[in-house]
Structures are given as C-alpha cells and as structure tokens.
Amino acid sequence: MTPPRDFEKNILMSLDFGNRILNHEIKFKKQIDFPTIPKSELMKIFKELKINIRGGTGGHYSFFREYSNHAFECHFHITKNTVFTYINLYNNGVLDREANLGHYSYMLNFIPYNVELAKEVSNTRGINSREEMKEYLNGLIDLFNLFVDEYIKEIEAGNIP
C-alpha cells in the first residue's frame, strides 16, 4: 500500500477525516434486508442533492469541483447499496497519481481514527431505505467538499504539492 502524499495526508489529519468518516458511517446500521436501489433511483437522489453526476455505468458515478488548474473528483462506486467513495485530484487535466488518495476507507490505513468505532462500524453498517441512502451520500459529499475546501485554502496560501 502506498500512502497518500504528505500534502494530502496532512490535510486529512488536520480535518480529523478518519473520525469524521466513522462518525458519519455509524449513523447507518443495517436493520433490514433492503432491496438494491436501481440506477434510475440513484440518479434521482443525486439530482435531489443538486449534484451534477456523470456516469452511472457499472455502478460508477462522479462529479467534479474545479479551482484554477486543479480539478477534484468525487467518485462513487455503488454496488448492492454499498458505497465506495474515492477522491481523485487532477492538475491541468491529468490525474495526479502521486496524491494517492483512493477511497475513504483506504485512507484510514494512513491517518488516525478511533479503532473501537471502526470495529463497530464494520459490524453494523448498512442502508435500510432510499432516504437513508440519500442522507448517506449527502454526508459523503460533505466530507469531500470539506477536503476540497481545505485543499483550496492551502493552494491560496501558496502551498502547492
């Protein structure tokens, strides 16, 4: 496993990103076997969240934020109501592979978090309704935006990776 670059890792740690993810996920505890939400319904949820989503092929959905010559992609891979959320960074239209962020749970390998909370989340997490999926996605988007806002502040302060 290759860790994120120090620039991005420092932003994640300053935001307490690991615990923020877990505190969001602990709200969603599997209680029933809820049928898989179809693509058409997921697209409606993104529209309700006012997210201009691209894709939808094979359970992949993305949206972008841009700042100067930087683009920030929030990429979701949704399969059987399980959501994997990735952050990808682009400079001048080229994927910045050195940032090495990956999906939210991958980043937990490199930043501090509450281990006991993580165990509880891994044993109980699940989506029980369409409204829960909407709330869950909204929280994941908020975490993405929090990261991007902080990244932009660093760029504006003259700190560029």
Report CA dihedral (45, 48, 54, 59) to the nearest 10 degrees. Answer: 0
Can you tell me the mean pLDDT for 26-53? 94
Q: Rounded to whole angstroms, how far apart are CA atoms 99 and 2?
A: 10
Can you tell me the mean pLDDT for 42-53? 96
Specify the pLDDT at position 59.
Answer: 93
Is there a contact between 151 and 160 (Cβ–Cβ < 8 Å)?
no
Q: Rounded to whole angstroms, how far apart are CA atoms 144 and 103?
A: 11
> What element of type H or E holds 70?
strand 70-79
Can you tell me the mean pLDDT for 18-43? 94
For 105-150, how does the pLDDT look when each residue is reduced to its tens digit (9 = 90+)? 999 999 999 999 999 998 888 999 999 999 999 999 999 999 999 9
- 108: phi > 0 → left, psi -120 to 50 → alpha, else beta; which? alpha
Count of alpha carbons within 13 angstroms of residue 119, beta-carbon side: 3
Q: Is the pLDDT of residue 52 over 90?
A: yes
Q: With cut-offs at 50, 70 and 90, classify the pLDDT of residue 56.
A: confident
Q: What is the DSSP letter of 56?
A: -
Specify the pLDDT at position 2.
Answer: 87
Radius of gyration of the chain (CA): 16
What is the value of pTM for the model shown?
0.94
Q: Is the pLDDT of residue 24 over 90?
A: yes
